[in-house]
Amino acid sequence: MKIEKNFVTFLSPGTFFSEETVKEIDSWDVNKAVEMSKNIVERYDATPYAFYFTTRARDDYDLDSKQIDESVIYYLGGEIRSLKDVELELNPDNNILIENMRNNGYKRVITNSGKWKSVHPLKDGDIVLQY
């Protein structure tokens, strides 16, 4: 008998990497995940800037489940900027961001300014929610 479960992973600003909190969820319900995000607080009072869904499954003969599906990332609001937008700001604090965007081929980034400012590459298909 195959067993499947859905999860939502919340991403919050961290020191070197994003903090992650994984919670079980009935379905890939965006509105429910947004509501759940309001109760997530990580170290240093960091709160989620985004989330994504996964589905895990296992059969009777499996020792552990395997991830069988993953959604795009849903950003909880934020400002979308292209490389050109960032360059036109003429802000020397953006020099590293500009180089990272150029070197890694990032067309756009999203800046979330919740309790902690965080900047992330915005991939094709990712969704920015009104938040």
Tens-place pLDDT, residues 102-124: 999 999 999 998 778 899 999 99
Check pLDDT > 80 for residue 1. Answer: no
Element (H, E) at 87: helix 83-88
Residue 60 is predicted with a pLDDT of 82
| 46: in domain | yes
Examine the domain organization and report whether 71 and 81 are in the same domain: no
Query: CB 24: neighbour CB atoms within 10 A?
Result: 9
What does the pLDDT average to over 42-63? 92
| 55: in domain | yes
Rounded to 10 degrees, the C-alpha dihedral 87/92/96/98 comes to 0
Residue 119 is predicted with a pLDDT of 94
Residue 122 is predicted with a pLDDT of 96
Residue 8 is predicted with a pLDDT of 98
Tokens matching residue 84? 């050109």
Examine the domain organization and report whether 18 and 69 are in the same domain: yes
Asked which of 60, 75, 90 is the last residue of a domain, the reply is 75
Rounded to 10 degrees, the C-alpha dihedral 81/83/88/90 comes to 100
What does the pLDDT average to over 76-82? 96
What does the pLDDT average to over 26-36? 98
Q: What percent of the chain has pLDDT over 70?
A: 100
- The answer to whether residues 37 and 73 touch, using CB atoms and an 8 Å cutoff, is no
| 131: in domain | no
Q: Among 118, 125, 25, 108, which Cα is nearest to 74's?
A: 125
Output 5 or 113, whichever has higher pLDDT: 5
pLDDT bucket at 57, cuts 50 / 70 / 90? very high
Tokens matching residue 66? 């395997």
**Amino acid making up residue 101:** M
Domain hosting 103: range is 77-126
Domain count, the chain: 2
